[in-house]
Amino acid sequence: MKVNRLSRLFLTALLTCLSLICAAATTAQTSEEPMIRIWAWSPDGQTVALGMDDGTVQLVDATTLRVVNRFDTGQGSVRAVAWRGDGQVLATGGADGSVKLWALSDRTLLLQLGDHGQPPKEILWSLNQQVIYTATTDPDYSPALRKWDATTGVLLLENDVVAGGLTLSPNGQTLFGVTGIQLSSISPETLEIIDTYRLDQDHEQGYQAIRWSISPHSERLVIGYLNGRVRVWDLVNVSVLHEFNAHPNPSGLCCTVTDSTVAAIYDDGQFVSSITVDGTFRVWDMTGERGISTVNDHPIALRTSFSPYGGRLSVVGGVIPFQILTPAPSLERLSAIAALCARDATTQTRAVTTLAQPITTLDALPAFVAQLDALPDGAIPPACAADLRAVAAASSGRVGVSGGMGRVRFWRFGCIVQVFCCQKPFKHNTESLIQ
């Protein structure tokens, strides 16, 4: 036992040293390459668009992490990117204050919206793809929130509301954004604030909204705060249903105010998932009373973003500047995503209904994957199918993951392989990544 423990300690020390060498090599080898400023998942979950500080957009395959396309926006540093719902058009916002719409089939410029004066920090498409919302987060710049006709580029409406992190509810009836330090709901029609999700004592207790997610049926809002707490809000009554810690040890030395910040959160209607910037990933039931999984050995997560159905997590930070993980895979998570796939299916066929049946044993995974592969193209949303395949593979122990239900460990050898064997198109510079 003592020998095994010493061996583990030696291996840990060795991997730590190699990680440091890896980080140094990454910085040295990519010092002239552009840095990632912003990124967004495609609607089908197959591609990630990276906005770079050299004015280019890189389209990355979400499975292989290879750059499949790139183009120059001519906008200076790219500050915002947003996919149209059909995945055919990408909107980009640049340091020059412009917003441009690009046809991805041939990377041609379709339309340029009017000059914002300030770099737009947020771009959001309406559900019918006819309207674009843009926002700056500079409180000294007015008007900050604007509404545009996406087909003509005509400015439809503007307001002085400063709203960061614009999100549209799944039913398309409400905008959400941070106004001040709290999350507010905003009318898409008038751009006026409807409600603010805060309690009277929040200002003194560090409840600054950082990340949020709206449940699939738009009846619940989950907010992660700067102090590491998570609240589940009732959207109808604007009241707190549940509250719990996003970190298992919020008072520990690992978790200063900065390190306990919720970097991403996702609500699929059955579970709440979150990751804090120290790399701790947790999954709970909706009350926060039953922890499904806790994983503490992910890389430092300076900025993160869940895939459309929450099965994968893109991470900027740590030794590898950009990576996509399948965090805390389990049969419960797989079943929850499958239920969402069935809900959003174009037609409710017998095959789709069967796919949504709960998966209770690892032995059932091969049959599940076979059913998934046998579905006709488009039977379920492609983004949901992509998340199902990723979670199924990770749950069965493939793709560098050990364990199925409960705690899993991601092997960290990929860093060494990518730096010393393969091309790495992204610069590792934490100061620039967190701006």
Instruction: Decide: 316 and 53 in contact? Cβ < 8 Å.
Output: no
Q: Are 157 and 203 in contact (CB under 8 A)?
A: no
Calpha distance 146→155 (Å, rounded): 7
CA distances from 298 to 10, 378, 411 (A): 20, 33, 9
Query: Which residues contact residue 422 at a Cβ distance below 8 angstroms, ignoring those fewer than 6 apart?
Result: none
Q: How do the pLDDT tens digits run along the chain, 435 residues long? A: 444 444 444 444 443 444 444 444 333 334 467 788 889 999 999 999 999 999 999 999 998 889 999 999 999 999 999 999 999 999 999 998 899 999 999 999 999 987 767 888 889 999 999 999 998 866 566 668 899 999 999 999 998 887 777 888 888 889 988 877 788 889 999 999 998 888 877 777 778 888 888 877 778 888 888 888 888 888 878 888 888 887 766 554 333 334 455 666 777 766 787 777 777 777 777 666 666 666 665 556 567 788 888 888 887 765 567 888 887 788 888 998 998 888 888 888 888 888 888 888 889 999 999 999 999 888 999 999 999 999 999 888 744 332 222 222 222 222 222 222 222 333 322 222 222
Sort residue 423 into left (φ over 0), alpha (ψ -120 to 50) or beta. Answer: beta
Instruction: Give the C-alpha separation, 63 to 46, whole Å.
Output: 7
Query: Domain spans of the chain?
Result: 36-328+425-433
Token output for 259: 């390190």
The pLDDT of residue 403: 28
- Listed in sequence order, the residues at least 6 apart from 415 whose beta carbon sits closer than 8 Å to its beta carbon are 18, 19, 22, 319, 320
Identify the pLDDT of residue 250: 59
Query: What's the pLDDT at 324?
Result: 87
The DSSP output letter for 34 is -
In angstroms, the CA 97 to CA 80 distance is 11
Q: How many CB atoms lie within 10 A of CB 189?
A: 10
Handedness of CA 285, 290, 292, 295 (dihedral sign): positive
DSSP string, 120-157: --EEEE-TTSSEEEEE---TTSS--EEEEETTT--EEE
pLDDT at position 83? 96
Tell which CATH architecture fits domain 36-328+425-433.
7 Propeller (2.130)
Q: Give 19's DSSP letter.
A: H
pLDDT for 390: 92
**Structure tokens, 343:** 């809900």
| First-residue to last-residue Cα distance in the chain | 47
pLDDT at 139: 58
Vertex 65 angle, CA 366 and 297, to 5°: 75
Q: How far, in Å, CA of 33 to CA of 260, rounded?
A: 31
Please give the pLDDT value at position 297: 56
Neighbouring C-alpha atoms within 13 Å toward the C-beta of 2: 0
Q: The pTM is what?
A: 0.76
